[in-house]
Amino acid sequence: MTTTPAPPPARRPVVLVAEELSPATAAALGDSSDVRRFDGADRAALLAALPEAEAVLVRSATRIDAEALALAPRLRVVARAGVGLDNVDVRAATQAGVMVVNAPTSNVVSAAELTVALLLAAARHVGPAHAALVRGEWERGRFTGTELHGKTVGILGLGRVGVLVAQRLAAFGMQVIAHDPYVRAGKAAQMGVRMVGLQELLRGSDALSVHLPRTAETVGMVGAAELALARPGLILVNAARGGIVDEAALYDALKTRRIAAAGLDVFAEEPATGSPLLGLDNVVATPHLGAATHEAQEKAGLAAARSVRLALAGELVPDAVNVQGGSIAEVVRPGIPLAEKLGRIFTALAGEVAQQVDVEVRGEIVDHDVKVLELAALKGVFADVVGETVSYVNAPLLAAERGVEVRLVTESESPDHRNLITLRGTLADGSSVSVSGTLVGITQRERVVEVAGFDVDLEPSDHLAFLRYADRPGVIGTVGGILGRAGVNIAGMQVSRDRRGGHALVALSVDSSVPAEVLEEIRVTIQAETARTIDL
């Protein structure tokens, strides 16, 4: 009697744990993987381990760049047990077909609580009072503070952390106002928050808390001119991103007591041990501790481990930031990055939250499930306007939180293009915004083919600008002259108009970002109806 030899055991995927993770995180990986632990900060050890790896879990010390990715032919997913992705080259990973995931909501509670802690510490002079007591000084009268009860707090950026801060400070008996052009007033009102313009926020706040992402538009958003509008007793807190508040202007305002105090967890350049702000007795500061709690680290590790298991199983991965897992038709996949870019362009054109967004998909592609294109478009819509990382799962939630109605519209007929993706939205004043794109040629090159009703043919390159104005001679030369003097080189230009002497649109691709002051100069000089930039 012969016996059939048992098949060899299935190869377990190799998962590299490059930094210290909690026991619960390790347990969440399960026993279906070959988990190998080592010090990811040891570059040689990392590069030696990567050829067999199918997944890597990192925190902040391990650098996954193009060199590392080139040595990892089996790698399917890189998981960051945290929010930021500064140590992961997402573009290189995308080009290599490697999924990158993070834990976008793991630290929101911790960040909100630190914000409140900094506000309370600044209002009650906790830092200098403690230092004086340590020196043996008992000077109670010198450190008379301010109650929060009955005061007004201004929230600059009403995303998830901003909402949590608003809820906590409302419990202190504070009135809450906020500025965020991407949150509808009616939705904010349901939370007891009144939406105002930026100037009113500054003029009307006793405390100001910053909760914005750091983008080209938000860097330096709170500068000398803005601080000059503030109440003399203002306490400013920034536990979001460094650089949003102009630190030189803040130093001058604090030094002269133009504003009362500041609580800072983030700085434009970190480590910030040499910042002059640290020498002021009306500043309380921490070294970027927003996510530094045991609970946040545990949540981040567990989220990363769950994402790794989903990715290795070929299932949908909610927290993927670049490529999406799960069953997606090959013909649909090339449209995912295009839809996301169209979403970002849509937001730049709108300049505010749309009341309704339609994601229209036309052509033969609709024979397949195109729901992922709606998710990718929404991911792009919110990518540049919220502080947390936007994923395919939280993008619809962000839309719902802001009262945005979203619809997916599919149509098999596409007269001008084989397939076409369009984002179309209605703004609060009744006006509409739209942008369309398609893929052309064997290599499926991305093209923007319509902007605000104007036909264009533009590659969605890294830096774009859109100008809408009354059609007349001389405008193009003026725009080119201003950009030239600013050192911004034009890589491509499309001019479209609805009729002779009517409205015209200039779509520009440029080699570098257009500074805000240069864009404003262009807008004023050519009397543009709208002037927008977007850095993809």
- Could you confirm whether 241 is annotated as catalytic? yes
Residues paired with residue 450 on neighbouring β-strands, in sequence order: 436, 455
One-letter-per-residue 3-state SS of 293-334: CHHHHHHHHHHHHHHHHHHHCCCCCCCECCCCCCCCCCCCCC
> CB–CB of 231/253 below 8 Å?
no
Q: Kindly report the backbone phi and psi dihedral angles of residue 78, in degrees, each rounded to the nearest multiple of 5, phi listed first.
A: -115, 125
Query: 3-class DSSP state for residue 477?
Result: helix
> CB–CB of 238/266 below 8 Å?
yes
Amino acid at 250: L
Identify which of 324, 355, 347, 351 has the alpha carbon closest to the alpha carbon of residue 337: 324
Q: Which of 137, 147, 269, 270 is catalytic?
A: 270
**Structure tokens that stand for 10 in this block:** 């299935």
Q: Which of 59, 211, 241, 468 is catalytic?
A: 241
- Could you confirm whether 270 is annotated as catalytic? yes
Segment (H or E) for 114: helix 108-123
Residue 342 has a CB neighbour count (10 Å cut-off) of: 27
User: For residues 202 and 195, what is the distance between their CA atoms, to the nearest angstrom?
Assistant: 12
User: For residues 187 and 217, what is the distance between their CA atoms, to the nearest angstrom?
Assistant: 24
> CB–CB of 342/448 below 8 Å?
yes
Q: Which of 288, 306, 362, 424 is catalytic?
A: 288
DSSP string, 326-357: S---TTTTTHHHHHHHHHHHHHHHH-S--SEE
Amino acid at 291: A
**Structure tokens that stand for 362 in this block:** 């036309």
> CB–CB of 53/72 below 8 Å?
yes
Query: 3-class DSSP state for residue 531?
Result: strand
As a residue count, the chain comes to 536
Which residues form the catalytic set?
Answer: 241, 270, 288
